[in-house]
Amino acid sequence: MKIVEVRGIKIGTGRPKICIPVMEKRTEDIVEMAGQAVMAGADLIEWRADAWERLECGRLPGTLKALRTRIGQVPLLFTIRTSSEGGLKALSAEEYAQLNQTAIQSGVPDLADVEMGREPKAVQSIITAAHEAGVGVVGSYHDFFKTPSVEDMVERLRKACAGGADILKLAVMPENMDDVVRLLDATQKASRIFDRPLITMSMGAMGSISRVWGEYFGSAVTFGQMGQASAPGQFDARELRTVLKILHKQASMAGHALPAREDMESKDKNLDHSVQSPEGYKAPAKKIRHLFLTGFMGTGKTSVARELEKLTGMPVMEMDAELARREGRSIPDIFAAEGEAYFRQIETQLLQDIAREETAMIVSCGGGAVLAEKNPRLMKSCGKVVLLTARPETIYARVGTDEGRPNLKGRKSAKDIEALMAQRAPKYKAAADVVVETDRKDIKAIAREILAVCSE
């Protein structure tokens, strides 16, 4: 197999390399989180630039250079995951190509992720620019709705290889364990066919086994998180390193190890890659465990939460139901007797309890859970915040003038609902890590879209 070596890291030999993604919105948070990834022992750092709130060509070089200063000699993978493949940005072919070429020409990234399913002209222009600049190409395909046949998965990897990718990547979504086994089978077959490293994974909690067994089947890189997993299927990077080290030893003994070996002990003794931390720097104790579903009433939070429970095995917490249980009375009765201010107070208290809860869960939030200033901070301190949206007409059709919803009193039309939504919209958006539209989508598709966005 052709080994891809980047800043001393050999991809395609030894145990699978650990790549830690950075998906912050603000520039300063991106740089800070990348520094934490270094301290967590990342072999590679992926900057998911589609999550950046200021993604534009003019700002890319400066932020990339700040990243390089912060991470030292740790290899950097530059990625813009577009909405067509589960990402956060909807871009034209021209915009996608221009942004990638600008990043490549900055001289900072070592690797660039290229979505091979995009327009051929745009894809080829990025690959040509990358190779001219000495940047490796990760040719990727993502299917966040299903797991194709073994033949189809191998064919996608073949197209990435034929297109000039240096590393071939495939991520798929399983519906059952047969799908996970099929992905592993396709990985093993592809590893015998192609002369370059593979990165494959079955997404979500069900597919988590594919993230640690890569060495046995031929996948050379796996994605890990800092602290507890921020998305189903991903592991804490430090725990992942321990597991991979054990499996590498067993794979070597059984003859399954990827070609050639590396000095694991010397690597593990120097997790920071010789990069010096700033004086007084300490990685925060932030642990990401939960998935918070927010949004206006009627956007489908409860139904989506139940579907996510089926896909991930994570338990569901219905905040309004839990508050009613604790108070021993219905939500309308709480509002009538105590008023909204009291309700928001006990809502915050419940979020504080959730933040202390170590068991990862899916939290279906009440429609006004983001209104109190401290609530979004509590959610972000221990999880990902997903905002579900829908048009006022859709919400009115779903909830009408439901008397069980106190904030609908006196609002008898879609326009009335639109007015209340407009009041809350800024706080919803400010709190959200991810926004998912629910109009004209079935529940299963919405749940899989959430997992796709959160699983990379």
Q: Flag whether 301 is marked binding.
A: yes
Instruction: List the one residue out of 192, 201, 117, 123 whose CA is nearest residue 164.
Output: 123
Q: Flag whether 48 is marked binding.
A: yes
Instruction: List the one residue out of 24, 78, 13 whose CA is nearest residue 284.
Output: 24
Q: What are the CA-CA distances from residue 421 to residues 331, 337, 350, 384, 408 (Å)?
A: 20, 25, 24, 22, 11
**Buried b or exposed e, range 210-226, using 16+ CB within 10 angstroms:** bbbbbbbbbbbbbbbbb
Instruction: List the one residue out of 112, 119, 77, 78 whose CA is nearest residue 95.
Output: 119
Q: Flag whether 47 is marked binding.
A: yes
Q: What DSSP string describes 267-288?
A: HHTTTTTTPPPPTT--------
CB count, 10 Å around CB of 116? 26
d(CA 19, CA 170): 15
Residue 9: Cβ-neighbour burial (10 angstroms; 0-12, 13-18, 19+):
buried
Q: Flag whether 325 is marked binding.
A: no
Q: Flag whether 155 is marked binding.
A: no
Q: Flag whether 303 is marked binding.
A: yes
Q: Flag whether 366 is marked binding.
A: no
Q: Flag whether 46 is marked binding.
A: yes
Is 131 an active-site residue? no
Q: Flag whether 230 is marked binding.
A: yes
Q: Flag whether 344 is marked binding.
A: yes
User: Residue 255 carries which side chain, given as an amino acid letter?
Assistant: G
Interhelix angle for 443-455 vs 301-312, to 10°?
60
Q: Flag whether 423 is marked binding.
A: no
Is 256 an active-site residue? no
Instruction: List the one residue out of 367, 371, 271, 361 whose CA is nearest residue 313.
Output: 361
Q: Flag whether 26 is marked binding.
A: no
3-state SS class at 200? strand
Q: Flag whether 424 is marked binding.
A: yes
Q: Flag whether 455 is marked binding.
A: no
* Active-site residue (options: 89, 169, 273, 287): 169
* Active-site residue (options: 17, 89, 142, 267): 142
d(CA 231, CA 361): 11
Contact 168, 195 (CB under 8 A): no
Neighbouring-strand partners of residue 389 = 437
Which residues are known binding-site members for Mg(2+)? Answer: 302
Give the catalytic positions in this structure.
142, 169
Which residues are known binding-site members for ATP? Answer: 298-303, 405
Which residues are known binding-site members? Answer: 46-48, 81, 211, 230, 234, 298-303, 320, 344, 367, 405, 424
